[in-house]
Structure 1
Amino acid sequence: MTQEEQALVQALHRGDRYACQELVEKYAGKIYNVALRLTGHPQEAEEVLQETFINACQGVEKFEGRSSLGTWLYRIAANNGLMRLRKKEAPTVPLETAPDPDVPTEFWPRQLQDWAWEPEQVALTDELRQVMEEAVQKLPEPLRMAFILRDIEGLSTREAAEALEISPGNLKVRLHRARLLLREELASYFHDHPNGGQSRGTAH
């Protein structure tokens, strides 16, 4: 935890009325993005966002400081989002007992290597962006959350595992399964679009 985070946590403990506002301003964008990709609905994402910061500001005494403040907020958001999803979805098969294979990245679709939404890293067309977003939404909730935190938000394996309260090994299992399911889901699109939906300039 950084000194800035320590100061913010101390202010929250003191009941500083501006501390919670600062917490929201600092992390709201990231938490909303995670909530939106997890739930797939802006209204539900807003509700998860509000619940997350209410839980954090009112329950700061539960923060033990063993992880970063951001990781703790991701954990709260993940729990709130998953609770909502589980009210609507059928129970899933436990993933913790699955093997932990290591598949070389050259066997993944090119767009799934070092997955990122930033245009300077992957030039996504609107069509491909929509296809990818829909594919992520089809992932089972534990896999979806692992993929969002690790490959989209860029958390380390340790940070993502802490946020989901699972071991790094289990995080890797979920991430591996998510990538394989996405590969299957996107295979037909990449077959029909050899360039992955990326436009290329014509030679003159």
Structure 2
Amino acid sequence: MDEQEIVQRAKNGDRAALAQLVNKYSDRIYNLALRILRRKEDAEDVLQETFLTVIEKLDKFDGRSSFFTWIYRIATNAALMRLRKKKVVFQELNDDPDFQESIESRVFVDWSQDPSVNVFDEEIKQKLNEAINKLSDIYRSVFVLRDIEGLSIKETSEILNITEENVKIRLRRARQFLRNYLSDYFEERLRESNASS
């Protein structure tokens, strides 16, 4: 049975079909929410909110987008709404063209050649999470959907209800910010390493 048929059955009140959809998407929705919110309790709340919304609005799902896109949009919006309610303070990325010029003119530390750098290192993972947490929600959501979840530009555009061009711009700015932030960290790490040798 394909997903369209399962969705149609769920719309018609088939509980087994609804359970299939919940089973199929629970882990992905939870992981998406966890990557945006960084707290298990919040991710669990978003998971619950998402499926309550799905149950409530399933009859309005018209199939113009895929069910996957529709449910991801609901989950992403729920996660972003939770961030706004918490009044999380983000480091905004300047929309001024000077932002791009200044960041592109920087010399970045090439930490990929450092044998002491292991991407699975807890300290590095923590630093990356710290950097992601400093992104404002418009940049973080694009970065999570594209670079962590691996969705296409088109899917990300549909989920966030923005143009594909906007997805590219926000993703580029998010990546530049992260690169800048991590470059500072690796520069300091390199100085400490040189000082101790």
Identity %: 45
Shift in CA distance, 181/164, structure 1 to aligned 2, threshold 3 Å? same
Q: Which of 73, 81, 84 is the aligned partner of 1:83?
A: 81
Question: 1:190: how far off?
Answer: 2.2
Q: Which of 129, 133, 136 is the aligned partner of 1:137?
A: 133
Q: How much is the aligned-residue C-alpha RMSD, in angstroms?
A: 3.0
C-alpha distance in 1 between matches for 2:58 and 2:27: 20
Counterpart for residue 115 of structure 1: none
Q: Which runs of 5+ in 1 are unaligned?
A: 113-121, 195-204
User: Where is the helix percentage greater, Structure 1 or Structure 2?
Assistant: 2
C-alpha distance in 2 between matches for 1:9 and 1:111: 47
Matched, 1:167 2:153: no
C-alpha distance in 1 between matches for 2:58 and 2:89: 31
Q: Is the 8 A contact 1:109 1:183 kept in 2?
A: no
Matched, 1:124 2:124: no
Which entry has the higher C-alpha Rg, 1 or 2? Answer: 2
CA offsets per residue over residues 134-189 of structure 1, 9 Å max, x none? 21111101100000001100000000010001111111111111111111221122
Question: 1:123: how far off?
Answer: 4.5
Matched, 1:21 2:16: no
Counterpart for residue 42 of structure 1: 40
Q: Which runs of 5+ in 2 are unaligned?
A: 113-117, 191-197
C-alpha distance in 2 between matches for 1:11 and 1:110: 53
TM-score by length of 2: 0.78
Aligned letter for 1:188?
A: D
TM-score by length of 1: 0.76
Question: 1:61: how far off?
Answer: 2.4
